[in-house]
Amino acid sequence: GLNTGGMGAVSPVPFCTPEFLSKVEERIVKPTLEGLKAEEIDYKGFIFLGLMNDGGNPYVIEYNVRMGDPETEAVMTRIEGDFVDLLGACADGRLNEVHYAQSDKTAVTVMMVSGGYPEAYEKGKVMNGLEGLKDVVAFHAGTSFNADNEVVTSGGRVIAVTAHGNTIEEARDLAYREVEKIHFEGANYRHDIGLDLMKLQ
């Protein structure tokens, strides 16, 4: 089908076991770092690895020198502590001096998109229900204000709703409960985010 970009994300994923992570480190992360050293590239920032799990083996789909959307909205909300401190330490070359921790909770992100996305879509649709959101983080991806100071759509991927829970099911139920509060003409979203992963638990 058409490339819709990211319509949702789950973090962490059940197949990301210590064994799988070890393969990622040995087969992908270490060779990547060795390549940067060999090219004498003093890189500071994100290297986002888009990976595919094929029979328990990781394969690279893409590299990005930024965080990916909407994976970011799931992953970032699990970081505990001050993220700005981590960014500053990265820029200063002292990441080894700062504490990094992540929540044990599961995050589920559902992306709401404009009608017609990823093909032609209309902008400027008034959004309602945002003020009633509870227990989630809503990341505005493609929104703006109109002349009446109302929040309106201004992009294809409009808003990402992220919820946390003790399980994928718990986080998913909360995310979808809150997504259903948001209304705008042509609103669309996938209803199956996380279902495939719940089968692996």
- Residue 200 pLDDT more than 90? no
26: helix, strand or coil: helix
pTM for the model stands at: 0.91
What is the number of other CB atoms lying within 10 angstroms of the CB of residue 184? 21
Q: From its phi and psi, is residue 8 left (phi > 0), alpha (psi between -120 and 50) or beta?
A: left
Which residues have C-beta within 8 Å of that of residue 55, sequence separation ≥ 6? none
Taking residues 22-49, report their average pLDDT: 95
Taking residues 111-130, report their average pLDDT: 96
- With cut-offs at 50, 70 and 90, classify the pLDDT of residue 199: confident
- With cut-offs at 50, 70 and 90, classify the pLDDT of residue 42: very high
Distance between CA atoms of residues 101 and 81, nearest Å: 7
